[in-house]
Amino acid sequence: METNTGTIAVTKNSNAIVGTGTNFDDEWEGKYLKVVGNDVWMIIDTVTDATHLTLTRNYRGETTSGVEYEIGSDTQWTEPDIISEPETDAGKFGDVP
Whole-number Å distance between alpha carbons of 33 and 61: 14
Determine the average pLDDT of the residues in 65-70.
96
pTM for this prediction: 0.75
pLDDT of 6-31, one tens digit each?
Answer: 999 999 999 999 999 999 999 999 99
Q: How far is CA 2 from the centre of its chain?
A: 13
Number of CB atoms found within 10 A of residue 53's CB: 25
